[in-house]
Amino acid sequence: MRTTLSELGASLSRNKSMTISLVVTMTVSLLLAALGLLIQSQADRTEKYYGDKLQLQVNLCTKNSPSATCLGGVATDEQKQAVQDALDDNPEVKSFEVRSAADNYDRARQILTQSETGRKQLETLGPDAFPETYYVTLKNPDEFDGVVSQVSGMDGVGNVSSLRKLLGPLFEILEKMRWAALATSLLLIVAAILQVSNTIRMTAYARRREIGIMRLVGASSWHIQLPFVLESLIAALISAALAAGGLAAFMYFVVYGYLRDTLGQLTTWVRWQEAVSVMGWTTLLAVLLALVPTLVMTRKYLDV
Q: Which residues of the chain have pLDDT under 70?
A: 1-15, 50-54, 141-142, 164-166, 203-224, 265, 300-304
**Distance between start and end Cα atoms, the chain:** 19
207: CB partners within 8 A, 6+ apart: 7, 11
Q: Report all structural domains of the chain as residue ranges with CATH numbers, in order of start.
A: 2-49+174-301 (no CATH), 53-167 (3.30.70.3040)
Phi-psi region of 160 (alpha: psi -120 to 50; beta: other; left: phi over 0): beta
The pLDDT of residue 161 is 83
The pLDDT of residue 42 is 85
Q: DSSP secondary structure string, 81-123? A: HHHHHHHHH-TTEEEEEEE-HHHHHHHHHHHHTTSHHHHHHHH
The pLDDT of residue 304 is 47
The pLDDT of residue 216 is 64
